[in-house]
Structure 1
Amino acid sequence: MNDDPFQDTPDKSNHVTIDRGNVSIKHKLDPVYFDKSKLMKLAHSNESTATPTEEETDVIALENISEHDVEIVKSQIIRQLNGNFENLLKEPTLLEKYEEIRTTFERTVVDKESHSVIILGPRSSGKTSIVTKALNDLEKSHKNEFFPIYLNSCVQVDDKAALREIARQLDVKVKEDDSDYEDDEEEGSAPKKQVSFANFEAKSIHQTFANILSVLYANKYDNEDRMPLIFVIDEFENFAIDNTQTLLYNLLDLSQNSESPICVVGLTTKMTAKESLEKRVNSRFSQRVISLVYENSLESFWNSAKLNLELDKSVIDKLDNRAYGLEWNKHITRLYNKENSLLKKIVLRNYYTVKDHKKLNNECRVPVSKLCPEFPLIRDEYFKLTDQGDGGVQGLIGSLSDLELLLVIASARWIEKYDINSINFNLAYKEYQDMIKDSNIDQSAASTTFLESRFTSNIRVHQKVWSKKVLSNSWGSLYKLGILLDPRNDTTDKRGYNYSHNISKNLIVEENQMVLLDVTLDELNGILYDQHTFKKFVRL
C-alpha cells in the first residue's frame, strides 16, 4: 500500500480514500470546506480503533446532504438577504433599539395608548428591519388586534396620494374582516363583530379624508373595541417639505385626540427632520427620537453582516442533518478568514465606501443561489462574478444619478478647457450652470418646420438648473465613491486598491477644497453611448 493515505480514485479525482486500520472511508473532497491537512491528521492518528472519531463522523455526515436540507438552507439565507432579519436579536446595538420600539407598539396595542416617534439613522442601518421585526413579533402574540399602515413618501409623493393609500389599506382590512365574518357564519360559530364602515376611498379627496375621520372619531364610549392603528412612514422628511404639512398635522393630531389608539412612526435619514416640522405639528409630536448609527469598526460591521449569512438554531433544528447547519455557520467564518478571501475583499470594499448592508446582501445572493447537494456549502470562487462586476471608474460612472453625472462632466470640461489638474465645487458648479444654459438656448433656437412651429411654438422643454445646495450633496457622494480624489492621497500605491482610502464618513467636502477628477473628458466620451442624453456635453 502507498505510504500516502490520500489515494486518488480512478473514476473521480475529487474523491479520496482514508485508510485507518480496518476502516476505509471514501468521500468527496471539496477544497472549500475540507482541509487536506485536517484529513491527514485524522489518517495518521495514533488511535487504532475502527470506530470513526467525532471529526470523521462530521465529514461522513456531510457526505449525505439531502436536497431537502439544501433547499431549506438556500431559501432561508435568501430570505435573510432580502430583508427578513431573523437574527436581529443577536446584534446588541439593534436589540436595544428593537426592544424600545417593541415596547412602544405594545403600549399602543395592549394599553390603548397613542404615541409618536422618529427613528433616525443612515441608510442600511436597520431602521426598517427593527420596525418590521417588532410588528411581526407583535402579530404573533396579538394576532388581529392591531392594523399597521405603511406609507412611503417616494411612492405617495403628496398628501392626497398618502390619504388615498391609507383609505385603500383600510378598505383591504375591512374586506378581510368581512370574509372572516362570512366564514364564521357558514361554520355556525359565533360571528365576529362587523365593521360599521366599509368604503373609505371616495372620488373626492375631501370625502375620503372625512370617511377616515368619521371612523377614527366614532364610538368614543366604546374604546375597548377600537382597533389600534400603527402608521409607519418611510422617508418621513419628505412630508415635512410641504409648507402646509397637512398629513403630518392630522396624523399627530389624531394620535392625541382620536378615540382609536394610534402610533405614528417616522423613518428618516435626515438629522434636521424634526426641526423642519411646523410649530403646530411639532407641538403635537412626542419629541421622542430613536437614533441608529453605522458600525465604527470593520469587525463590528462584519459581525452584523454575518448574521444574514448564518442559520438560527430554530432553522438548524428543522434540518434532517443538524450537522449540516452547524457546519454551515462555521464555514461562513472560515470563508471570511481565509487568505485572499473574495468574500472578505467584498466586505472591505463595502465598509470603506458605502457601508451599505443592502448592497452587500445583493452581492451574496448569487453565490448562495448556486448551492446544490453536490456543493452544499458556499464556495469562495462563487464571489468572483460579483467582484468582477465593479469595473473601476467606468462601472461607477454607469451607476451615477443624472445630477452626479452632470457634475462629473462639468468638472471634466473645466479641466479640459483651462488645462488644470484639480478642481473644486465652485468651479464645477459654474461650468454646470453655463453648460445647461447654453444647451437650453441651443434647443430653443433649433429650426423647426412650419407645421411643427404651429403646434410647438408655446411648448418649451428646458433642463432645470439646480441650486448649489442640491448639488453639494452630489459632490460629496462623488468624493465618497472615489471619483473625486484628495491630492494628498493620490499616490500610485494607494490608487492601486479596489476601495478608496480618501473616504471619511464624517468629512465634509468644502466648496473651495481642491480635488482631483479620476476620469477625463475623452474617457467619458467613450463610456457614454451615442444615444445618451448627456453625450452632447462631452464635446467642447
Structure 2
Amino acid sequence: MPVPQNESDRTRYFLKNRLLSDVTSFRGYDIEWKHIRDLLFRTAENGESNSALLLGPRGCGKTTLVTSVLADLLPEKEFYKNTLIVYLNGLIHTDDRLALKSATSQMNLENAVDGKVFGSFAENLAFLLECLKAGDKKKSKSVIFLLEEFDLFCSHHNQTLLYNLFDVAQSAQAPICVLGISARLDVIELLEKRVKSRFSHRQIFLLPKENDIDERIMLFKTLLKLTTAKEISEHNKNYKPIPLEVLQNRELPLLRRIFNPNDYNFNSKWVSQWNKHIDLLASSRSVIAVLQNMYEYDVIEGPFKSFLFELVSQLDETNPWITVDSIQSLGQHFESDDKVSLLCGLSVLELCLLIAMKHHSEIYDRDPFNFEMVLTRYNKFANSSSTMQGIERSVILKAYEHIKNLELIAPLTGATSKVQKEYQLHRLLLTYGQINQGLQKSQNLPTEISQWAQRSFV
C-alpha cells in the first residue's frame, strides 16, 4: 500500500503501522529480557542445552520480548549460522504429528526423512537432531524450539513432544533450548510427572506493574509521537539488519513484519507541531483521568495499544488532530466490561445460580463445582425466599446450561465427557467484582437476592 501524500493521512498510516508492526521494540523488563537473551546465546555459542518457561498475562508482551531478543541476536553472523529456530504454536500444531512435520520443514530436513520409517516419535526426533551434525567438527547445530501457547501442548497424547524435547535438553544429546510461552501461570502443574522431572524448572515471569500511571502516560506519548530526524539518525546508527532469508521464513511469523521509521518522510514543521500537541494532551487533566481509569481497569499494554489504534484510526483530512473529546468518548467504550453487560441480560434464576457459584468459590477458594453443588446452595436460599420457590429442577438445569453456553463457566480441562452432565466439574470464568457489578446494574432485581449476594458465607 503506497504511503499517503497529505500529512494527516500519512500520520495515521505511520502510527497504525507502528502500533501493528513494531514487534521488536520492547519496553521495561530489562532483567527478564537479558535472561532470555543469555539463555538463547549460550545455546548457540557454547552448545548448552536449556529449557525455560516465559509466563505472564495475555497481552503483557511475552512474544514481543522473544521477538526483540531474536532481532538483537540474528544479525550476529555466528548466532545466525550456528542456530536453527523452530517455532511451534499450540493453536496450529494441535497434535505431535503436525508439530514434528512443521519442525522437520523448519529444519530443512524433509529430504532426509522422506521414505524413512520410525518406530516412535523419539526415534524420529533423534534422527532429525543427528542430521544436524556438521561433518568435520562433529558438532550439532544448536536448535531453539519456541513453543507458543505452551499449555496447549500439555494436552497432547502422553505429552510425547514435551517429554522428548525436555529429555534431549536434560541429557545434552544435542544443543537445544526449549522455550515455552504461556499465559497460564500454573502451566507447570499441567506437566506429567515424567515430563516435569526432565524440565529445568526455570520460570521467567512478566508481571505488569499495577501502580505506575506515570509510565502509562509516558507510553501514551511514546506511541503517538512522530519520529524526529535526530531519532531516525540514532536509529540508523544502532540498526542491525536481520538476514533476508530469516525474514522470508514462512514458519517463523514473529519477525515477518519489521517497522522501519525510515520508510516515512514527514515535514519537520509538522513533526514539531504534532509532538507538541501530543505533549499538551498528555498534560491535560481530562486525558490523564481517562488514562488513569483505563490503567486501573487493565494494566496490560496490549489492550491499551488497541485503544490507541482505534483513536488513530479516526484521523483524516477533516479531523487531523487527536482531541480530548475523542479520547474521552473512546475511553468510556474501552472501560466497559462485556461480561458485565452480558450479566445484565440474564434472568433472575440465572443470576441466582451465579451467586451460588460465587459463594461456593469464596468458601472453597475457587475450587471447581458441578450442577448438584450449585443446586444445593441455591435450594438453601430458595427455601427461605418468597421469590424463588417452586422452580422445577429441569428449569434450573436448563438455566445452568445456558450460563455454560455463554462461557461464563467452563468445564475443567481433561474432564471426561462420560460423566453425567449434572456431575461434570466446572470453573467460574468471572471475577467476584464482575458478578457484583452485573447485579448492581441488573434492573428489577428483588431486594432479598441482592442481600443474599452480599453475604460472604451461606
Q: In structure 2, what is the equivalent of residue 113 of structure 1?
A: 48
Q: Which structure shows the higher helix fraction?
A: 2
Q: Which runs of 5+ in 1 are unaligned?
A: 1-64, 175-194, 444-459, 486-515, 524-540
- What is the deviation of 1:366? 2.3
- Please say if 1:171 is aligned against 2:171: no
**SS of the residue 1:371 aligns to:** coil
Partner deviation per Cα, 1:156-191 (whole Å, 9 max, x = no partner): 44xxx24413422532563xxxxxxxxxxxxxxxxx
Match of 2:130 in 1: 217
Q: Which residue is equivalent to 1:309?
A: 224
**1:249 and 2:163 equivalent?**
yes
* Pair 261,353 (structure 1): closer, same or farther in 2 beyond 3 Å: same
Matches within 5 A, 1:445-464: none
1:90-169 pair list within 5 angstroms:
91=27, 93-142=28-77, 143=80, 145-157=82-94, 161-169=95-103
TM-score, length basis structure 2: 0.64
Match of 2:201 in 1: 287
Equivalent position amino acid for 2:101 in 1: A
> 1:95-141: CA deviations, max 9, x gaps?
33222212222222233322211112223222111011112232233
Match of 1:321 in 2: 267
SS in 1 for 2:59: coil
State the AA in 2 paired with 1:119: L
Residue 12 of structure 2 aligns with an amino acid whose one-letter code is: K
Distance 1:327 1:377, change over 3 A: same
Q: Distance in 2 between matches of 1:96 and 1:522?
A: 52
- The alignment status of 1:467 with 2:415, answered yes or no, reads no
* Aligned counterparts of 1:463 and 1:242: Cα–Cα separation in 2: 24
Q: Which of 1 and 2 has greater Rg?
A: 1
- Give the structure 2 partner of residue 38 of structure 1: none
Who is 2:19 aligned against?
81
Question: Which AA in structure 2 matches 1:126?
Answer: G
CA distance in 2, matches of 1:162, 1:399: 38
Q: Could you tell me which of 162, 179, 182 is aligned with 1:268?
A: 182
| Contact 1:121/1:269 (8 A) holds in 2 | yes
Structural mapping, 1:441-520, within 5 Å: 466-467=424-425, 470-471=427-428, 474-475=429-430, 477-479=431-433, 481=434, 483-485=435-437, 517-520=439-442
Match of 2:394 among 432, 438, 443: 438
Rounded Cα–Cα distance in structure 1 between residues aligned with 2:115 and 2:304: 40
TM-superposed CA distance for 1:263, in Å, is: 1.2
| Corresponding position of 1:411 | 351
What is the distance in 2 between the residues matched to 1:345 and 1:104? 41
Q: Secondary structure at the match of 1:117?
A: strand
Does the CA contact (< 8 Å) of 2:141 and 2:175 recur in 1? Answer: yes
Compared with structure 1, are the counterparts of its residues 478 and 170 closer, same or farther at alpha carbon in structure 2 (3 Å cutoff)?
Answer: farther
Given residue 252 of structure 1, which amino acid in structure 2 is its aligned partner? F
Matched residue SS, 1:424:
helix
Amino acid aligned to 2:215: S
Q: Is the 8 A contact 1:108 1:261 kept in 2?
A: yes
The alignment's C-alpha RMSD in Å is 4.6
1:386 aligned onto 2:330: yes
Letter in 2 for 1:321: N
Q: Structure 2 unaligned runs (5+)?
A: 233-259, 363-370, 380-390, 400-417, 446-458
Describe the SS at the equivalent of 2:224: coil
Structure 1 CA distance for aligned equivalents of residues 353 and 90 of structure 2: 36
Assess if the C-alpha contact under 8 Å between 1:74 and 1:371 holds in 2: yes
Q: Which has the higher contact order (CA 8 A, sep 6+)?
A: 2
Select the residue among 233, 237, 245 that pairs with 2:147.
Answer: 233
After superposition, the C-alpha distances for 1:282-305 in whole angstroms (9 at most, x for unaligned) are 332233222222113222343345
Write the distance in 2 (CA, Å) between the matches of 1:244 and 1:207.
13
Q: Distance in 1 between matches of 2:145 and 2:348?
A: 40
Q: Distance in 2 between matches of 1:247 and 1:81?
A: 35
2:9, 2:99 → 1: CA distance? Answer: 37
Given candidates 349, 364, 371, the residue that maps to 2:315 is 371
The Cα of 1:250 is off from its aligned counterpart by 0.7
8 Å contact kept, 1:113–1:261: yes
Fraction of identical pairs, as percent: 23
Give the distance between the partners of 2:15 and 2:144, measured in 1 at CA: 29
